[in-house]
């Protein structure tokens, strides 16, 4: 099949939570119950990283879980542990657990095992992990700590990244030996030539001279008495900052046994680096256009020759972001992701021949990730987000013919493959995460871990059934219906409609983040419906763009059509419909409530409800340009944004509504929920508002476990008030 004919293609799997031990508060609750209960959340584990020795004889994998913290009520913490497994047989092997101080494990091309962990200066450093039970040997003492590691093909050289603040970079002898300041403005008012960066320190005195007052105010900032920012993008996920950071790289020559040597310089982040052969490095660098980093949307690919320090710009157009996705072992082929920031596009994957730097797009109308070249360099592997699944695929480099190696009924995470065997992680409706071994064509897979299957073997798990329909635009919309536990054909059951966020996201068997919630409500007697309305990822660029300037009416028609079709199956009681969603899903939930009266109760979580306010409340404010083609002050935009905002129609919302928001959620901003709740409460509607202290937007995926359980149980309890 040619790439141009390839029409069946999901978003990157969002890995969820896991466990090591169970809190005493839940220990007796789930040991014998066959149905999923709330406390099973802390039993779920996920494999979040996979590394394999080049010959396939050993693999290392990281398991993230949840362990009890008995010092506080509903106390838990996340824990990630690395395991090493010898893979001589296909049987499950008992893995060796490694020291928890190490946060990364990986192998060099010559088969040696390496690790990143806390070094003598309490920052992340590189360690060599010899065999035969010897102690790991620390190789680096980078002042700012170690980020990413890349090896040359012969294993003799390493690229090491480090992150620096602008203050660190101004003073850095490694990356700014001339002591320069940025050529672009810090955008600090009246700070001509960024002179504040070079100001001589003065003795602080609040009653002293201006330099002494400035020194005093600087101390206030260090003590968190005040935060000062001149950044456009000052909102983080859960706080605010005025800090500007840069990524730079060192080269470490193992054969020379010398300290790491700085490779990059300047006031631009070098977001990626890969060896091309043993003596050249391909760097991805933010475009130098004279602007503050917050205003730079593109990156260039620059080839650096280590033998003569010459630089050559390979790709760059001041529009796209070019990122190296993979390099073949010989350096002949390079896979490059090209995408346009803040645009409704899926991006493209190009394969370049480094002999002439001519490239061709694979032409796959899906978001692609985790790219790897085959050992023989005749083909390239990649994962595609496709129709609710994450499929593994192989493309012939010359013909660009694509073969799909796995089903959309699951989600492939990490993988490794050579000519004899393959290893991969997978998520399904039956199991949120396991590690498998297979033949190189991925036809016969055998689980070699039992991190979840061991306890799930005693559980009653439901498998959602997939259906689809064509909407009025001719787009095929997928939806899944999960029948309640102990379903009987002569009964009708309450239906819970789940709506995903994004909106460029997707539900389906590859999504581990919702696994527990689906199974929990199923166990409580609900049928569960989830769908991928227009605007979802995993269905190509036309589908992705189908909600442009149409966040509410069109997508809501898709969701409600799935509801109608589910009612037609005879499984659902039409008088007991409930609806919930998070983020954009909360937006669409409340939009539906303002235009429909069929639901008995609803829950909206960490949502955006007023698009006019969204520009100020959210750190993802560029979405307004992407989806509505403008910002609030621009001509005609006020009317467009208010017409698409659920708060405009709050008076029409009569359905009882439970609203959640994390108090440190800067993705959408808690003011969004404040606004909606206050409207509904003033209007006398049945509404309740739950704010979770210290929680950000990721509360239901990687947030405080006690708060995750609280939100789940409060949602269930609220719905039960209206269930009959």
Residue 132, pLDDT above cutoff 90: no
Q: Looking at residues 657-662, what average pLDDT do you find?
A: 98
The yes-or-no verdict on residue 508 having pLDDT over 60 is: yes
pLDDT at position 87: 72
Is the pLDDT at 10 greater than 60? The verdict is: no
Query: Distance (Å, rounded) from C-alpha 663 to C-alpha 696?
Result: 7
What secondary structure letter does DSSP report for 240? Answer: B
Instruction: For residue 76, give Cα distances in angstroms to 97, 268, 521.
Output: 21, 39, 23
**Residue 723: is it exposed, middle or buried by C-beta count within 10 angstroms (0-12/13-18/19+)?**
middle
pLDDT of residue 287: 95
DSSP 12: P
Q: CA-CA distance, 411 to 385, in Å (whole number)?
A: 9
pLDDT score recorded for residue 292:
96
Q: What does the pLDDT read at residue 538?
A: 97
pLDDT band at 33 (very low <50, low <70, confident <90, very high): low
d(CA 115, CA 102): 6
Higher per-residue confidence, 591 vs 20: 591
The average confidence (pLDDT) of the chain is: 92
Give 605-626 pLDDT, tens digit per residue: 999 999 999 999 999 999 999 9
From CA 526, how far away is CA 601, in angstroms rounded? 14
- Which single residue is written with the structure tokens 């990626």? 272
Instruction: Please state the rounded mean pLDDT for residues 270-291.
Output: 96
Pairing mode, strands 657-662 and 601-605: parallel
8 Å CB contact between 408 and 51? no
Q: Which residues contact 73 (CB under 8 A, 6 or more apart)?
A: 706
Task: Quote the pLDDT of residue 100.
Answer: 79
Residue 24 confidence class, pLDDT cut points 50, 70, 90: very low
Contacts of 257 (CB under 8 A, 6+ apart): none
| pLDDT of 3 above 60 | no
User: Where would I find the H helices in 172-274?
Assistant: 210-222
Mean pLDDT computed over 492-501? 98
In this model, does residue 73 exceed pLDDT 90? no
User: How large is the average pLDDT for residues 386-408?
Assistant: 96
Max avg pLDDT among 3-12, 112-121, 546-555: 546-555
Alpha helices in 568-650 (DSSP H): 584-595, 611-617, 623-628, 637-643
Q: What is the mean pLDDT of residues 91-101?
A: 69
What is the band of 13 on the pLDDT scale with cuts at 50, 70, 90? very low
- Given a contact cutoff of 8 angstroms between Cβ atoms, the answer to whether 341 and 295 are in contact is no
- Residues 327-335 have a mean pLDDT of 96
Whether the Cβ atoms of residue 354 and residue 334 lie closer than 8 Å to each other: yes
Predicted model pTM: 0.92
pLDDT of residue 585: 98
- In the predicted model, is pLDDT for residue 90 greater than 70? no
Please name each of the domains of the chain with its CATH number: 192-222 (no CATH), 462-722 (3.40.50.1820)
CA-CA distance, 289 to 284, in Å (whole number)? Answer: 15
Determine the average pLDDT of the residues in 152-174: 95
Rounded distance between C-alpha atoms, residue 377 and residue 420, angstroms? 15
**Tens digit of each residue's pLDDT (9 = 90 or more) over 190-230:** 999 999 999 888 999 999 999 999 999 999 999 999 999 99
Cα angle, residue 13 at apex, residues 545 and 708 outer, rounded to 5°? 105
End-to-end CA distance of the chain: 53
What the block records as the tokens of 589 is 């939930």
pLDDT digits (tens, 9 = 90+) for 447-480: 999 999 999 999 999 999 999 999 999 999 999 9
């Amino acid at each position: 099949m040619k790439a141009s004919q390839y029409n069946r293609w999901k978003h990157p799997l969002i890995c969820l939570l896991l466990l090591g031990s169970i809190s005493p508060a839940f220990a007796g609750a789930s040991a014998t119950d066959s149905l999923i209960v709330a406390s099973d959340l802390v039993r779920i584990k996920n494999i979040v990283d996979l590394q394999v020795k080049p010959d396939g004889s050993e693999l290392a994998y990281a398991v993230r879980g949840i362990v009890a913290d008995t010092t506080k009520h509903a106390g838990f913490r996340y824990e990630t542990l690395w395991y090493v497994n010898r893979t001589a047989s296909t049987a499950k092997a008992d893995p060796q657990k490694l020291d928890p101080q190490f946060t990364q494990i990986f192998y060099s091309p010559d088969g040696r095992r390496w690790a990143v962990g806390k070094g003598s200066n309490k920052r992340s450093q590189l360690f060599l992990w010899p065999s035969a039970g010897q102690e790991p040997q620390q190789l680096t003492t980078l002042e700012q700590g170690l980020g990413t590691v890349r090896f040359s093909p012969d294993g003799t050289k390493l690229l090491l990244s480090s992150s620096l603040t602008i203050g660190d970079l101004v003073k850095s002898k490694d990356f700014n030996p001339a002591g320069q300041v940025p050529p672009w403005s810090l955008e600090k008012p009246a700070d001509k030539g960024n002179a504040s960066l070079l100001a001589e320190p003065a003795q602080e005195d609040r009653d002293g001279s201006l330099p002494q007052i400035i020194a005093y105010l600087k101390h206030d900032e260090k003590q968190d008495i005040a935060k000062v920012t001149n950044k456009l993008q000052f909102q983080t996920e859960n706080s605010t900052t005025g800090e500007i950071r840069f990524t730079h790289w060192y080269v470490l020559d193992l054969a020379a046994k010398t300290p790491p040597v700085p490779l990059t310089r300047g006031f631009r982040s070098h977001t990626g680096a890969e060896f091309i052969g043993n003596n050249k490095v391909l760097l991805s660098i933010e475009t130098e256009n004279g602007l503050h980093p917050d205003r730079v949307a593109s990156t260039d690919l620059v080839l650096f020759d280590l033998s003569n320090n010459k630089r050559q710009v390979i790709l760059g157009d001041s529009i796209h972001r070019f990122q190296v996705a993979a390099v073949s072992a010989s350096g002949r082929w390079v896979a490059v992701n090209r995408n346009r920031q803040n645009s409704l596009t899926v991006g493209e994957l190009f394969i370049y021949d480094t002999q002439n730097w001519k490239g061709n797009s694979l032409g796959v109308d899906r978001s692609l990730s985790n790219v790897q070249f085959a050992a023989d360099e005749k083909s390239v592997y990649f994962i595609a987000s496709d129709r609710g699944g994450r499929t593994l695929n192989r493309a012939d480099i010359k013909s660009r013919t694509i073969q799909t190696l796995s089903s959309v009924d699951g989600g492939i995470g990490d993988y490794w493959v050579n000519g004899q065997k393959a290893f991969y992680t997978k998520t399904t409706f039956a199991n949120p995460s396991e590690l498998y071994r297979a033949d190189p064509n991925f036809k016969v897979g055998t689980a070699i871990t039992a991190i979840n299957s061991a306890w799930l073997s005693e559980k009653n798990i439901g498998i959602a059934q997939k259906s689809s329909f064509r909407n009025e635009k001719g787009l095929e919309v997928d939806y899944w219906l999960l029948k309640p536990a102990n379903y009987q054909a002569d009964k009708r059951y309450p239906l819970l409609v789940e709506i995903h966020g994004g909106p460029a996201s997707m539900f389906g068997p590859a999504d581990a983040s919702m696994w527990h919630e689906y199974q929990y409500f199923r166990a409580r007697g609900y049928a569960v419906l989830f769908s991928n309305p227009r605007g979802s990822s995993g269905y190509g660029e036309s589908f992705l763009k189908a909600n442009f300037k149409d966040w509410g009416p069109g997508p809501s028609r898709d969701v409600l059509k799935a509801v109608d079709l589910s009612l037609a199956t005879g499984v659902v009681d039409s008088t007991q419909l409930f609806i919930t969603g998070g983020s954009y899903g909360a937006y669409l939930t409340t939009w539906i409530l303002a235009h429909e009266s069929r639901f008995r109760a609803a829950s909206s979580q960490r949502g955006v409800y007023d698009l006019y306010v969204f520009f100020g409340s959210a750190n993802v404010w560029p979405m307004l340009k992407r989806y509505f083609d403008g910002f609030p002050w621009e001509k005609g935009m006020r009317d467009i944004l208010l017409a698409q905002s659920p708060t405009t129609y709050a008076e029409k919302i009569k359905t009882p509504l439970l609203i959640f928001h994390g108090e440190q959620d800067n993705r959408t901003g808690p003011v969004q929920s404040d606004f909606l709740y206050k409207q509904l409460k003033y209007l006398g509607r049945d509404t309740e508002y739950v704010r979770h202290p210290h929680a950000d937007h990721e509360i239901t995926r990687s947030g405080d476990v006690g708060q995750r359980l609280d939100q789940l149980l409060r949602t269930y309890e609220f719905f039960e008030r209206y269930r009959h």
